[in-house]
Chains A and B, each alone.
Chain A
């Protein structure tokens, strides 16, 4: 250690700012070689890695964005389809309701007509039966009354023409009385 100090002290005559040309040459050559390696290999390799990494990340982001857009588009489509389906269902329901109401009305109408028809038919039947009953009664009641009266009176009322006249008059009176009561 002392040797170093002494040698440094004896060199004190030389100016420390004056360079050693060999040292300058070595530093220059070494730096040139380093620059060559850095320019040729180190920087391109690092930059390539950085670029690839940035691309990988940005590519991933772009892909994710695309997927997101697709998903939201699909969601939109589904929503629209759902809305359409709902509208369709509502429409069908409305139609069914209207149709049902129409069928019901038709049925009601038909039933009413049927019942009216049945009533009318019954009326006609009753009327005709009444007529038949009236006719047969007129004949039978006449005969019975004549027979009864002949028995009571003891006089044979065999003269049909006369008895028929009597019965008719009697019945007409009866009908007149009935009509008066009905009025």
Chain B
């Protein structure tokens, strides 16, 4: 839990220092900060939400991306080795924030009619609607926050477990009397290193996926009438 607070301090400090100088020709630190900020701002917010009103959601997307990224990368740092979201609570909180946000955006944009827009697709023959509408309700309002949170939680927990099991497996094999079994620990170590690389990739990827999905949900809520 201290790690969560530490992540907030790391992100806030880094970006405030990077942004503070506001030079037209950026230094190295400012350039790195701008590149990271521009990634979320342009590649996620602007490309998905688009045009006029993406700026309103940049702070949320930016905070989500780097909060999740840093908390995930904890899992790849030796001695810490614990991604925050391998405990489900944090993932629930993040998904709930996003869930409330996009529903609020939808209601603010279209009023209560938003729920009709979000669940009754246009252009579908009326006799299929009894099937489609329940599916839409379940997928949009019930399954979406669950998958959104569990995707993050499950990947982090699985990665964490794999690293722990690899470590325990290596320890177990090294303790064996049989030389061949001792030697087999090298194979496990090789596999563990490969998994470590894969996990590092997944940590970054999941932060990106979580933020990207948030942007997609917000965009869907903003433009519910055209979906």
Flag if B94 contacts A31 (CB, 8 Å): yes
Interface SS majority for chain B: helix
Q: Taking CB as reference atom, which chain A residue is nearest B70?
A: A34
The reply to whether the CB of B132 lies closer than 8 angstroms to some CB of chain A is no
The reply to whether the CB of B24 lies closer than 8 angstroms to some CB of chain A is yes
The reply to whether the CB of B171 lies closer than 8 angstroms to some CB of chain A is yes
Q: Which A residues, 99 to 137, have Cβ-Cβ distances below 8 Å to chain B? A: none
Flag if B67 contacts A37 (CB, 8 Å): no
Choose among A4, A27, A48 the residue that contacts B84 (Cβ–Cβ < 8 A): A27
- C-alpha gap A34/B93 in the complex (Å): 14
- Which of B1-9, B102-110, B114-122 faces chain A? B1-9
Flag if B171 contacts A34 (CB, 8 Å): no
Residues of A within 8 A of B66 (CB): 34
Flag if B16 contacts A37 (CB, 8 Å): yes
The reply to whether the CB of B23 lies closer than 8 angstroms to some CB of chain A is yes
Residues of B within 8 A of A47 (CB): 55
Q: C-beta contact mask, B128-170 vs A, less than 8 Å → 1, else 0?
A: 0000000000000000000000100000010000001101100
- C-alpha gap A41/B13 in the complex (Å): 11
Known: A26-B5, A49-B22, A53-B24. A43 touches B11 (CB 8 A): no
Q: Taking CB as reference atom, which chain B residue is nearest A26?
A: B1
Count of residues in B whose CB is under 8 Å from the partner chain: 44
Q: Which A residues, 1 to 31, have Cβ-Cβ distances below 8 Å to chain B? A: 1-2, 4-5, 8, 16-24, 26-28, 30-31
Q: C-beta contact mask, B153-191 vs A, less than 8 Å → 1, else 0?
A: 000010000001101100100000000000000000000
The reply to whether the CB of B52 lies closer than 8 angstroms to some CB of chain A is no
The reply to whether the CB of B20 lies closer than 8 angstroms to some CB of chain A is yes
User: Can you spell out 23 A-B residue pairs with CB atoms less than 8 angstroms apart?
Assistant: A1-B171, A8-B164, A19-B92, A23-B1, A24-B93, A26-B4, A27-B4, A27-B90, A27-B93, A31-B93, A33-B12, A37-B8, A37-B16, A38-B63, A41-B16, A41-B19, A42-B37, A43-B37, A43-B58, A46-B19, A46-B37, A46-B41, A52-B24
